[in-house]
Amino acid sequence: MAIEKNNIDSAIAAGVAKFKELNPFPADLHSRIMEKLNENDNADKAVAAGVSKFTEANPYPVDLHGRIMGKLDEKRVFRISWPALIPRAAVALALLFVVIFAGSKIIESQRPQVNYQIPVAVVLSLESQAGLIKPEKNGAFEDSINSVIFNMEQEGS
Amino acid sequence: MSDLELANRAKGGDKAAFEELVRLYEKRLYYAALGILRNESDAQDAVQDSFVNAYRFLKHFKGESSFYTWISSIMINNCRRTFKRKKRWYQVLTGYSDDKNKFGAELVEKWKEKDDNLYLVGKTLEKMDYKDRELLYYVFFEELQYEEIAEILKCAIGTVKSRVFYSKEKFKTAFIIEQKHYKDALNM
């Protein structure tokens, strides 16, 4: 078994030696690798150099800050803060109350004065006469009807 | 005063506090928009709209990330909208659907007079997809960490890592080719 293993090892070693003999190392490969590495390195340096010139080659527009702030004002994006809003809200509320109060007064003065007591008294007295309202159960009603009728008679006379 | 304190004061209607935030980040945002869109007026509009949107949605800023990454994610959306609109118009006007080389060529040509390397970087970025350009801006120009890029672009850190790797490889290969063409053109 040991003899067999030795034979295999020596066969492999001979094969490897032959492989190297048949395929010699290319004389220019080292220089080609180094050239490629240098090329890569130079490209990195050139990119870095180019990038560093970017801001210098493109001056910042002097009016851009003003344009941005102007746009923000124009779009009215600056909202009113709550502390600033409180006095404005108070004034607005006061104005609203004044308008509502004045409006209600005007409407009231325009409305025709109607004496609702007369038709109500007439209806109640008719109902009472027809027996729809019983005096013994609705004493309060009876009293109010009588007082209304009395008032009507007074006004009529 | 920290960004969060300024933001909280701005939420209460303090215009000066918000103006301070604008002053702190307007330049970085402008250059990011310019790097991605490669058009000065588009970049200015994107920054302006980003600050207006940021103020409107300021209540959503809780200070879990930096103000810059938060507003940058707003700006990225504005830039994407601008790019889509321009691309659509370009397709309508020319019937040409390729979006890689057509926008921002004028600005990159201006860089030629100022710095060769910057011109080559710009030319190479033209060859990249829009999404790669966004990513590479934050990698090369701002040198942000993966976490910050993930927050701005709203994707997972693992996705950012793999995308950065492949985008950088693609960029470097394209850059070397661009460099050779440029040198050959100079020698002719």
pLDDT of the residue at B89: 78
ipTM of the complex: 0.81
Q: What is the C-alpha to C-alpha distance for residues A133 and A126, in angstroms, rounded to an integer? A: 10
pLDDT higher than threshold 80 for residue B69: yes
Closest residue of chain B to A63, computed from CA coordinates = B44
B109 reaches A (C-beta below 8 A)? no
- The DSSP code sequence of chain B is --HHHHHHHHHTT-HHHHHHHHHHHHHHHHHHHHHHH--HHHHHHHHHHHHHHHHHTGGG--SSS-HHHHHHHHHHHHHHHHHHHHHHHHHHHH-----SSSTTHHHHHHHHHH-HHHHHHHHHHHTS-HHHHHHHIIIIIS---HHHHHHHHTS-HHHHHHHHHHHHHHHHHHHHHHHHHHHHHHH-
A62 in contact with B, Cβ within 8 Å: no
**B101 pLDDT more than 90:** no
The domains of chain B are located at 1-98, 104-188
- Report the share of chain A in percent with pLDDT over 90: 29
3-state secondary structure of A157: coil
Confidence tier at B144 by pLDDT (50, 70, 90): very high
What is the percent of chain B with per-residue pLDDT over 70, rounded to a whole number? 94
Whether B121 sits inside 8 A of A50 (CB atoms) is: yes
Q: Is the pLDDT of residue B45 over 60?
A: yes
pLDDT value of residue A129: 73
Does the structure show a pLDDT above 70 at B43? yes
A13-27, A134-148, B86-100, B165-179 — which one is most confidently predicted on average? B165-179
CB contact under 8 A, B15 and A78: yes
pTM: 0.68
The CATH number fitting domain B1-98, selected from 1.20.1730.10, 1.10.1740.10, 3.90.550.10, 3.40.50.2300 = 1.10.1740.10
pLDDT of residue B98: 62
Please work out, in degrees rounded to the nearest 5, the angle formed at the alpha carbon of residue A33 by the alpha carbons of A27 and A38: 135
| Pairwise CA distance, residues B148 & B157, whole Å | 9
In this predicted model, what pLDDT tens digit does every residue of A100-125 receive, in sequence order? 999 988 888 877 666 666 677 777 77
A40-77, pLDDT tens digit by residue?
899 999 999 999 999 999 999 999 999 999 988 876 65
Question: What value does the mean pLDDT of chain B take?
Answer: 89
pLDDT for res B73: 94
Distance from CA of B149 to the nearest CA of A (A): 18
At A23-38, the pLDDT tens digits run: 888 889 889 989 988 9
- Chain A contacts of B55, Cβ < 8 Å? 72, 77-78
Q: Which CATH class is domain B104-188?
A: mainly alpha
- Which backbone phi and psi does B147 adopt, to 5 degrees? -60, -45
